[in-house]
Structure 1
Amino acid sequence: MIYPFIRKHRFQYRTQKMCTILQVSRSGYYKWMKRKPTPRDKRRKQLKRRIRDVFIRSKKRYGSPRITAVLREEGFAVSSKTVARLMREMGLKSCMARKYKATTNSKHSMPVHDNTLNRQFNVLAPNKVWVTDITYIRTGEDWLYLASVMDLFSRKIVGWATGPRMTQELVLDALDMAYKRQSPQPGLLHHSDRGSQYACTEYQKRLESYKMVGSMSRKGNCYDNSCIEAFHSTLKRELVYVIKFKTRE
């Protein structure tokens, strides 16, 4: 560990002084400098180079798990712990999500559906199960709200809408887009949280007109709708938090 430190700082401090302070011989350091790299050294150097490339290509958004997955696809047999350690050595740190909290209002007296989905997230065909949720994006004009509809089979976002307020019109616009784009057969299972936007009469009438079956998360249980919430989390971490939006548009 000492020799690499001396090599890294050799243009800032005199080599002799560093060797004296760190209690190693100068001859030993120069011998180490001249030695041929071992296969392990070569692999470590190659890993560091690829980690840095992937990190920069992701615009500094990927952490060690995502970079590990990319490296494994390229044929590297490497663990997430090794990638995390090498990233720390190189001073590479992914953009961290900032924590805000804004949720739909579930404290209402409107009827709610049972949790028919019950975390059965593996779906065998498209347009059989949709999940939906609302998230929020900070802009120079205050919050912009985003309602998304996801097909659980492909995890594709089939409908979305944005607006300055978290209203029933926002979620209706997202649902209408999804229905027009996909034209699902009757019986599709539609899952959401218990927010008033989804429980309101107008939204429930729209589900009935589209011949969809309603399902809602249990009260206060975010895991019941974790797929769409995970998408929104990734969207924020990899896009929203690394860009400053001046306007809602």
Structure 2
Amino acid sequence: MTYVRVNYKWNYICLLVDLFNREIIGYSAGVHKNAELVFDAFATVHTDLNRIQMFHPDRGSEFNNQVIDEVLDVFHISRSLSLKGCSYGNAVAESTFKIFKSEFVLGRNFESLAKLKLELADYINWFNNFRIHSSFGYLSPKEFKASKL
């Protein structure tokens, strides 16, 4: 989860990243940093949630609560929390957010939440389908995944 400026106020973005190919499989944006934002990100996942084996969030209360517990229970997803104070426990997500902030967020102030959501959807489409990653032999996340299936 990270924050962005919308009309000069903080708003939040939640990204769900697939560790296999670093594809952003779920996302949401909203005014509050809470479980609803995480739930909304899960609602955008286009793959069968029963195929997800592990959810590896940080230790924030927005990830560890009854709402998210119910989602994980329904789809039989295990949770693996990072060690307290250990940034390496969630290194792929941290790396993705570094890229995301430098390419999408840096220095921007979105005029409205609706505009942020529209541009976020475009960015994620580009990130997943067109942005190449050196760690995948200069393939996009979707190309890399297709090459392994």
Q: Larger Cα Rg: Structure 1 or Structure 2?
A: 1
Assess, with a 3 A threshold, how the Cα gap between structure 1 residues 191 and 141 changes in structure 2: closer, same or farther. same
Cross-structure match for 2:55: 190
TM-score, normalization by structure 2: 0.70
CA deviation profile, 1:92-128 (whole Å, cap 9, x unmatched): xxxxxxxxxxxxxxxxxxxxxxxxxxxxxxxxxxxxx
AA aligned to 1:168 is A
AA aligned to 1:145 is Y
SS in structure 1 at match of 2:93: helix
SS in structure 2 at match of 1:182: coil
Instruction: Give the Cα separation in 2 of the matches to 1:206 and 1:185.
Output: 11
Instruction: Give the Cα separation in 2 of the matches to 1:152 and 1:195.
Output: 20
Cross-structure match for 1:169: 36
> After TM superposition, what 4+ stretches of structure 1 lie above 3 angstroms from structure 2?
184-187
AA aligned to 1:231 is T
- CA contact 1:141–1:247 (8 Å) conserved in 2: no
Structure showing greater relative contact order (alpha-carbon pairs closer than 8 Å, 6 or more residues apart): 2
Assess, with a 3 A threshold, how the Cα gap between structure 1 residues 228 and 173 changes in structure 2: closer, same or farther. same
The offset of 1:141, in angstroms, is 3.9
Cross-structure match for 2:80: 215
Report 1:145-164 matches (<5 A): 145-164=12-31
* Count of equivalent residues: 114
AA aligned to 1:208 is D
SS in structure 1 at match of 2:83: coil
- Unaligned segments of structure 1, at least 5 residues: 1-133
1:238 to 103, 107, 131: 103
CA deviation profile, 1:202-249 (whole Å, cap 9, x unmatched): 211110001111111011112111111211111111221144422232
- CA contact 1:141–1:248 (8 Å) conserved in 2: no
- CA contact 1:161–1:171 (8 Å) conserved in 2: yes
The offset of 1:140, in angstroms, is 2.1
- Structure 1 position 135 matched with structure 2 position 2: yes
Assess, with a 3 A threshold, how the Cα gap between structure 1 residues 169 and 136 changes in structure 2: closer, same or farther. same
Cross-structure match for 1:203: 68
RMSD between aligned alpha carbons?
1.6
The offset of 1:170, in angstroms, is 0.3
Assess, with a 3 A threshold, how the Cα gap between structure 1 residues 244 and 184 changes in structure 2: closer, same or farther. closer
- Structure 1 position 224 matched with structure 2 position 93: no
Instruction: Give the Cα separation in 2 of the matches to 1:246 and 1:161.
Output: 17
- CA contact 1:161–1:170 (8 Å) conserved in 2: yes
Instruction: Give the Cα separation in 2 of the matches to 1:169 and 1:187.
Output: 20
